[in-house]
Amino acid sequence: MLNPVRHEVTNYLYFNGITRGIKQTEVRPRVPGYLEKVNFKADTQVKEGDPLVIIDQKPYKVAVQRADAVLLGKRATVASAKANLDRVRTLVTQQAASDQELIDKQAAYELAVAEAAVAEAELNDAKLNLDFTEVRSPISGRISKNMVDEGTLVRVNEPVIATIVADNEIYVDFQVSEAEFLDYIRKYPRSRLNEPNPNEPTIIDLGMADEAGFPHRGKVVSGDNTVDPGTGTYGVRGWFDNADKQIVPGLYVRIRAQMGSGQAMLVPDVAIQADPRGQFVYVVNDKNVAERRAIMPGPQAGAYRRIISGLETTDKVIVNGLMMVRPEAVVNPKFVDPPPIPTIAPADANPTTQPATTKPSTTQPATPEAL
């Protein structure tokens, strides 16, 4: 047995969330044509600007040549119009040509210049379309399988060729209940969610389905600007470093959010029992008789469970041999060493940092045996 202890521990709230890539984009064709070549392999890293697929370039090269030839013709027209304009200007000064002829030549020259500008723009457009036949990666990240095979006829913006997710960092979106949100903003400045302070982040920890505890540490980076009236929840987004690529976008994960610290009464979680009447522990009275004591437990803290009501620090709680204990049974109690209690979590966002543990100070005599 042992006495409940009071200790300052980190307060946590627990949520379910879903992981998302920092950036996620679809690779789509920007010009129509036959898909000629796929240059990437599924589930590999690509860099921004890498050529992913090539669309048949032959018609686009012809279009560039045609536009280039048109531009050459328009520039020749400009040169001819300029020469005619200069000639008429000279004749006008010699009074050998009328002012109307000068106006006509000036208009012809300006028209030729405008047509040359249009031809140059069309050439640039043809070159741009030729460049678009090489579909390049818009971001750096991990690419999916190709969703279109070589030889497929593609259209502008259809179909999706592949998707790319930037996964060196990861977002986790989770929902906070209205009550939890109101409690939070009364304890902490609202700006810590909507305008995160990098010097005082709200720490969150993440655990995946196959992991014990919450081994990944991150921080809150943003929150919604309203509570959803339909669900009564407030959306929160957390950030985690993912340099080792362990966290994959689209996973359902567990989130533990640090909500400050405070004094709490703790007993080992193994001592807490349950029956149809509720949760309880066995305590030893002054006559060494076991008594059932109803309790209201709170969140878990390491190997301990917080006790909201039902116990005092002077109570003697049975922690071992519980299968043999019955109410009103006489017992032979012995004190045992309490398990270590988690200390207040460090206020940083290092994903490899885990909360330390400490043993509570106690004046209890300790023996290796107990009920």
Residue-level pLDDT, tens digit, the chain, 371 residues: 888 988 887 777 889 999 999 999 999 999 999 999 999 999 999 999 999 999 999 999 999 999 999 999 999 999 999 999 999 888 988 888 788 988 999 999 999 999 999 999 999 999 999 999 999 999 999 999 999 999 999 999 999 999 999 989 999 999 999 888 887 777 665 545 545 555 667 889 999 999 988 999 999 888 888 899 999 999 999 999 999 889 999 999 999 988 777 788 899 999 999 999 999 999 999 899 999 999 998 877 778 888 989 999 899 998 888 888 888 888 888 888 888 876 555 444 344 444 444 444 443 333 223 33
pLDDT at 339: 82
b/e 155-174 (16+ beta carbons within 10 angstroms → b): eeeeeebbbbbbbbebbbeb
Q: What is the pLDDT of residue 352?
A: 40
Report the C-alpha gap between 258 and 263 in whole angstroms: 15
| Distance from C-alpha of 242 to C-alpha of 248, rounded to nearest angstrom | 9
pLDDT at 188: 62
Residue 77 in tokens: 């027209």
What are phi and psi for residue 181, nearest 5 degrees?
A: -65, -45
Pair type for strands 51-55 and 134-136: antiparallel
**Alpha carbons 113 and 115: distance in angstroms, whole number:** 6
Residue 193 pLDDT: 52
Could you check whether 29-54+133-160 and 57-132 share the same CATH topology?
no
User: Which CATH architecture does the domain made up of 29-54+133-160 adopt?
Assistant: Beta Barrel (2.40)
Residues across the chain: 371
pTM of the model: 0.65
What pLDDT does residue 354 have? Answer: 41
Q: Where are the alpha helices (DSSP H) in 45-150?
A: 58-93, 99-132
Domain formed by 13-21+167-260, architecture: Beta Barrel (2.40)
Domain ranges of the chain: 13-21+167-260, 29-54+133-160, 57-132, 262-358
Our CA dihedral for 70, 73, 74, 78, rounded to 10 degrees, sits at: 170
Record: fold of 57-132? Helix Hairpins (1.10.287)
Q: What backbone phi and psi angles, to 5 degrees, belong to 128?
A: -65, -45
Domain 262-358 has CATH 2.40.420.20: yes
